[in-house]
Amino acid sequence: MHKYVRESALRSQSRQKEKLLFNSIPVLIKDPLPEEIDVDNVLSQVEERIPKEFLENVDGIYIGDFEVFRQKQTNAAYENGALYVSNEQDDLQDMVDDIVHESAHALEDQHWQEIYADGEIEQEFVGKRQRLFHIFKEEGLDIPEEIMLNVEYSASFDKLLYEDIGYEALSSFAMGLFVSPYGITSLREYFANAYEHYFLDEASYVKKISPQVYKKIEEIHILRVYNNEEQ
């Protein structure tokens, strides 16, 4: 898909601009961003926060309006080596958050075995979901336990969390269990949400709340640095 988007963008030079992240990853702007968002500043902040080695699986970043957003009901996505980021952003930080979050999914794609094979993150995640299940029960929320133990993304569960329970209540229930409520959504989002906060907020908080995710990020960082030194 990203090959088609790149070729399409290049055919309309008058409408798009190309930048580079880390002087190597092409960033194609297909559709205009709000005037107050400076893409150069966005990319600079990403470079300051994430080691270059963590984006080795990213072939390009595409900014604009894409069908994948409607398919996944989101405003950013990672697919086959490409990051897709909506041009409709609230502010500069919102866009930085999107790029960093989706880079976590790129890292998952590259290091799936290292992240998940030993089951440590999944065990941590399921344990938190079980505790949340009991909190829901105490609050009179009747949610089947099998749904709470399903680690895969479910659109119906996502809707239940954010529309039926609501973000404010969810934030209260999740405090001390998840770095933020979005980490409840699925195992992959649990990892990506903690990864995002590791680089953008406070790594020590991630270590406290999601120690297994913290451990994996640290291990992968050491692995990437070692491999690059060997090369």
Q: Provide mean pLDDT across the span 199-207.
A: 95
Both 101 and 129 in one domain: the answer is: no
What CA–CA distance (Å, rounded) separates 201 from 179?
10
Q: Provide mean pLDDT across the span 157-166.
A: 90
Contact 100, 49 (CB under 8 A): yes
pLDDT of residue 11: 47
Both 144 and 60 in one domain: the answer is: no
Both 105 and 11 in one domain: the answer is: yes
Tell me the pLDDT band of 72, cut-offs 50, 70 and 90. confident
Tell me the CA end-to-end span of the chain in Å, nearest whole number: 31
Both 95 and 135 in one domain: the answer is: no
Both 98 and 199 in one domain: the answer is: no
Both 119 and 83 in one domain: the answer is: no
Both 33 and 137 in one domain: the answer is: no
Summarised one tens digit per residue, pLDDT across range 124-137 is 999 999 999 999 99
Query: Strand locations in the chain, DSSP E?
Result: 17-21, 25-29, 60-64, 76-79, 82-86
> For residue 165, what are the domain limits?
115-230
Domain stops at, among 110, 139, 170: 110
The full DSSP string for 32-62 is: PPPTT--HHHHHHHHHHHS-GGGGTT--EEE
How much is the mean pLDDT over the chain? Answer: 90
Tell me the pLDDT band of 79, cut-offs 50, 70 and 90. very high
Q: Provide mean pLDDT across the span 2-26.
A: 67
Domain stops at, among 110, 135, 160: 110
Tell me the pLDDT band of 216, cut-offs 50, 70 and 90. very high
The CATH number for 9's domain is: 3.30.2010
Both 157 and 214 in one domain: the answer is: yes
Both 84 and 150 in one domain: the answer is: no
Domain stops at, among 45, 79, 110: 110
Tell me the pLDDT band of 222, cut-offs 50, 70 and 90. confident
Cβ count within 10 A of residue 144:
9
Indicate the number of domains in the chain.
Answer: 2
Both 105 and 153 in one domain: the answer is: no
Both 103 and 123 in one domain: the answer is: no
Both 90 and 124 in one domain: the answer is: no
